[in-house]
Amino acid sequence: MKRKINAISFTPKYDELEDRVRISINYDDLHNRIDFMMTRAFVIRLFPTVGDYMLEFYNLNLVVPTKTHTNNNVEKIIKDTNSTSRTDGTNLELYKQEDELLIEVKFSYNRETKMSIVQFHSKNSEVTSRLDENAMKQVFTIIKSAIPFFSWGISHNI
C-alpha cells in the first residue's frame, strides 16, 4: 500500500554523491516527510512537460537564468512572496528519510478554482499538492534552480 501525504513544503538540493536532485517534501515534519530523488533523465522529461502545462493553463514561461544569476533570482522569489522561506539545514539533515526514486508527476487543472493538483509518485509513496499559479511557478522554479545544468550537459531552457 502506498503512503499518501499532502505537500506543504518543497526543498530541492543537488546531491553530488548521488548525482541527482533531491526534493525533500515537508522537510521539517518527521512523520510527513518524503525525500524524492530525480535523475537527469527524469528532469529532461519533466521540465518540458511542466513548461507546456504552465503555458497552457497559466500563460507563463518557466525560466531559470544562468547559474551565475540563479541564486539572486531565487532570493528574489523568496523575498517577493510570503509562501517561501529559508530552509533550516539542521532539520533538513536531521529528519532525512530514505530516498525514493521519483517515477511520475501528474498534473490536473480545475478551471473553476484555477488551481492545479500536482501528484508526485514513487514506488512506495504519493504526494499531493494543491497549487495556484504563483505557487506552481515558485515550486518548479526553485526545483529547477537546483539542477546542475552544466555538469549534466543540458540547457537552462529545458
As a whole number, the mean pLDDT across the chain is 84
Mean pLDDT of 65-91: 46
Are 6 and 138 in contact by the 8 Å Cβ rule? The answer is no
Least confident window among 31-40, 58-67, 148-157: 58-67
Residue 56 pLDDT exceeds 50 = yes
Question: Alpha-carbon distance 145 to 100, whole Å?
Answer: 21
CA–chain centroid gap for 59, Å, is 19
pLDDT above 90 for 102: yes
Summarised one tens digit per residue, pLDDT across range 115-153 is 999 999 999 999 999 999 999 999 999 999 999 999 999
